[in-house]
Chains A and B, each alone.
Chain A
């Protein structure tokens, strides 16, 4: 391990992990999970948020942002497709929960797979025609899709239009763990579990065929196609997996918030999530987690300057992008990874 690695948090983390033996890895993972799991008890410390309760902030925005950013990262970071309509999948998940939860006897955990399935279906339906487009055009079509979903929900009677849907049931208790409005620790742990599941999924996929296909598509789509990578298929896969994560987040969000309305699913959410991804370090899971945590947490932490907090948020985006254009924790350069493998061997 080189000394300079201490300066580079990402490489330091990666090399520590790579050089560690299995028990050490398990220990590191367990300790981190416990530490993060204890976060909701830190409400009294310097981390406290002035107005919103700290537990609630940890669930939404922070936890939800991390989850959705990880989902969007599959699309934008891994396979390099710019998706500006990610909120649509979040909305589909949330409305599935809201409508099924209020009209049928199904509970959150039973609706979760249905919501995910709907979001994935929407992903496939949108993906098949549009993923032939590239770059900015794809961005605009997805942006349009996000707005269409919101406007349809806003103007339809089944979704109760602008009034939104109230009285969405909370998730049933998990044994001794009770879901309460005042005390959202359990929600936080559920979000955390979902985040870990997503991270695990992404890490597994990254080192296998789909991950390599995405990387190839991101670097040069034409070359990938010529090398025999079925690009459209893998692009749709990436889009659909991202949609699945967004849908899952939506189901949980509706069940946590008890009330949803179309105004919660504006383009701003898509942009914010994209900002989380790029801010943290596009393509790098831990970067995305850090970015989403900061951008989710910051506006609530600086509520004391309540009126100007969005202004500060915008300034932070501009400044960080100007000085660290690859994000706070950028992904490893491909060459770097190869050189390091050689050095380790």
Chain B
């Protein structure tokens, strides 16, 4: 049972870390919005899905790559990858702002109950996923391979592939930049102020609407970046991939203590590794169950998430 885990420990670990970083970025979308609004951004999974399509459209339609064309090299590679990333982030960021505008703003102005907002977010996520389903006729869309999956080196019997390395380092960089933004910038300070105490922040002259829109935007950008990395690693998307990803990322956010950014980081990595190890030990079909069981246990014994308590004071 554990033979697979022991045999392939290091390659599993690397895959888990890469997956974990994708989770980290998506769960930022949940955790940022939760921190500010104390509400689940239900449409974040669809925002992610739109981001993956943004990535594919860039390489396929703008740069004209097809399933059979040769992977890019040199400066062209960098150009394509970066524009894919930016496109995915832009699409997801704009979608997130749109979601906030349509599903949240009016209800927030009315000061209504949270469930109404939840249902309106569910409504908008159905709309987003249905639009994409109609556009793609429910078919999965494959991504042309831009980044060749070269095996760079072998460490402890594990193959280190280029796309995994790119994912890990670029995602870590984006996470770092976002964290700095929230920590250091003026807007980030406003975001943290609102998440600590909305009324006090308003009294201090923080423009609440602008803060909330920015929060959605930043969460969307992170989620969009995750969409790009997801495509780089898995090379395929469909109108309904958001659901599984959303569930996992949300779990990650809760594991780390929802509402704080560093929690999303630890939670995402933890969940990525856990998922990969669990599927090696129990088989892929049980990995989601393992994830949920762990989540339930964590919530029962440490309801603020694994890292919630410790990081709470430096809530960011």
- Answer yes or no: are A and B bound together in one complex: yes
In whole Å, how far is B204's beta carbon from the nearest beta carbon of chain A? 27
Measured between beta carbons, the chain A residues less than 8 angstroms from B292 are 144-145, 147-148, 151
**Pairwise interchain contact A141-B289, C-beta atoms closer than 8 A:** no
In whole Å, how far is B5's beta carbon from the nearest beta carbon of chain A? 19
Whether A317 is near chain B, meaning CB under 8 Å from some CB there, is yes
**Pairwise interchain contact B110-A325, C-beta atoms closer than 8 A:** yes
Whether B177 is near chain A, meaning CB under 8 Å from some CB there, is no
**Quick one: which of B103, B113, B116, B286 has the most chain A CB within 10 A?**
B116
Cα(A137)–Cα(B102), bound, Å:
25
Known contacts A136-B40, A137-B254; A76/B115 CB under 8 A: yes
Interface string of B277-316 (1 = CB under 8 A from A): 0000000011011001101100110010000000000000
Whether B247 is near chain A, meaning CB under 8 Å from some CB there, is yes
Cα(A152)–Cα(B247), bound, Å:
17
**Pairwise interchain contact A278-B115, C-beta atoms closer than 8 A:** yes
Measured between beta carbons, the chain B residues less than 8 angstroms from A315 are 123, 127
Whether A82 is near chain B, meaning CB under 8 Å from some CB there, is yes
Q: Which of A136-177 contact B (CB under 8 A)?
A: 136-137, 139-141, 143-145, 147-148, 151-152, 154-155
Identify the closest chain A residue to B128 (Cβ): A314
Whether A60 is near chain B, meaning CB under 8 Å from some CB there, is no
Q: Which of B24-74 contact A (CB under 8 A)?
A: 34, 38, 40
In whole Å, how far is B108's beta carbon from the nearest beta carbon of chain A? 10
Whether B197 is near chain A, meaning CB under 8 Å from some CB there, is no
Interface string of A287-303 (1 = CB under 8 A from B): 00000000000000000
Whether B106 is near chain A, meaning CB under 8 Å from some CB there, is yes
Known contacts A275-B122, A310-B126; A140/B250 CB under 8 A: yes
Cα(A130)–Cα(B127), bound, Å:
32
Known contacts A76-B115, A321-B107, A321-B116; A137/B303 CB under 8 A: yes
Cα(A261)–Cα(B126), bound, Å:
23
**Pairwise interchain contact B116-A137, C-beta atoms closer than 8 A:** no
Whether B200 is near chain A, meaning CB under 8 Å from some CB there, is no
**Pairwise interchain contact A318-B112, C-beta atoms closer than 8 A:** no
Whether A196 is near chain B, meaning CB under 8 Å from some CB there, is no
Known contacts A308-B134, A314-B124; A278/B289 CB under 8 A: no
Measured between beta carbons, the chain B residues less than 8 angstroms from A313 are 123, 126
From B106, B286, B295, B296, give the contact of A322 (CB < 8 A). Answer: B106
Measured between beta carbons, the chain A residues less than 8 angstroms from B125 are 314
**Pairwise interchain contact B126-A317, C-beta atoms closer than 8 A:** yes
Q: Which of B207-232 contact A (CB under 8 A)?
A: none
In whole Å, how far is B239's beta carbon from the nearest beta carbon of chain A? 11
**Pairwise interchain contact B116-A155, C-beta atoms closer than 8 A:** no
Whether B77 is near chain A, meaning CB under 8 Å from some CB there, is no
Q: Which of A184-227 contact B (CB under 8 A)?
A: none
Measured between beta carbons, the chain A residues less than 8 angstroms from B122 are 271, 274-275, 317
Cα(A307)–Cα(B131), bound, Å:
10
Measured between beta carbons, the chain B residues less than 8 angstroms from A151 are 285-286, 288-289, 292
Measured between beta carbons, the chain A residues less than 8 angstroms from B247 are 143, 147, 267
Whether B119 is near chain A, meaning CB under 8 Å from some CB there, is yes
Cα(A188)–Cα(B91), bound, Å:
47
Cα(A311)–Cα(B124), bound, Å:
9
Whether B130 is near chain A, meaning CB under 8 Å from some CB there, is yes
**Pairwise interchain contact B123-A325, C-beta atoms closer than 8 A:** no
Cα(A321)–Cα(B38), bound, Å:
19
Whether B120 is near chain A, meaning CB under 8 Å from some CB there, is yes
Whether A316 is near chain B, meaning CB under 8 Å from some CB there, is yes
Cα(A76)–Cα(B116), bound, Å:
12
Interface string of A310-345 (1 = CB under 8 A from B): 110111111001100111000000000000000000
Whether A133 is near chain B, meaning CB under 8 Å from some CB there, is yes
Measured between beta carbons, the chain B residues less than 8 angstroms from A326 are 112-113, 116
Cα(A76)–Cα(B243), bound, Å:
23
Cα(A263)–Cα(B120), bound, Å:
25
**Pairwise interchain contact B123-A148, C-beta atoms closer than 8 A:** no
**Pairwise interchain contact B134-A129, C-beta atoms closer than 8 A:** no
**Pairwise interchain contact B107-A322, C-beta atoms closer than 8 A:** yes
Cα(A99)–Cα(B39), bound, Å:
40
From A76, A140, A143, A318, give the contact of B102 (CB < 8 A). Answer: A318
Whether A253 is near chain B, meaning CB under 8 Å from some CB there, is no
Q: Which of B251-276 contact A (CB under 8 A)?
A: 251, 254, 258
Whether A279 is near chain B, meaning CB under 8 Å from some CB there, is yes
In whole Å, how far is B104's beta carbon from the nearest beta carbon of chain A? 10
From A82, A137, A310, A321, give the contact of B130 (CB < 8 A). Answer: A310
Whether A87 is near chain B, meaning CB under 8 Å from some CB there, is no
Whether A124 is near chain B, meaning CB under 8 Å from some CB there, is no
Ranked 5 nearest A-B pairs via Cβ: A317-B123, A314-B126, A325-B112, A321-B120, A314-B127
Q: A147-B289, A318-B123 are in contact. List 16 more A-B contacts (CB 8 A).
A: A133-B303, A137-B303, A140-B251, A140-B299, A147-B247, A274-B119, A275-B122, A275-B123, A282-B113, A310-B130, A314-B126, A315-B123, A315-B127, A317-B126, A321-B123, A325-B117
Q: Which residues of B contact A (CB under 8 A)?
A: 34, 38, 40, 102-103, 106-107, 110, 112-113, 115-120, 122-127, 130-131, 133-134, 243, 247, 250-251, 254, 258, 285-286, 288-289, 292-293, 295-296, 299-300, 303
Sampled A-B contacts (21; CB under 8 Å): A82-B115, A129-B300, A140-B251, A147-B288, A148-B292, A151-B285, A155-B285, A271-B122, A274-B118, A274-B122, A278-B116, A278-B118, A308-B130, A308-B134, A314-B124, A316-B123, A317-B120, A317-B123, A318-B103, A318-B124, A321-B119
Q: Which residues of A contact B (CB under 8 A)?
A: 76, 82, 129-130, 133, 136-137, 139-141, 143-145, 147-148, 151-152, 154-155, 267, 271, 274-275, 278-279, 282, 307-308, 310-311, 313-318, 321-322, 325-327
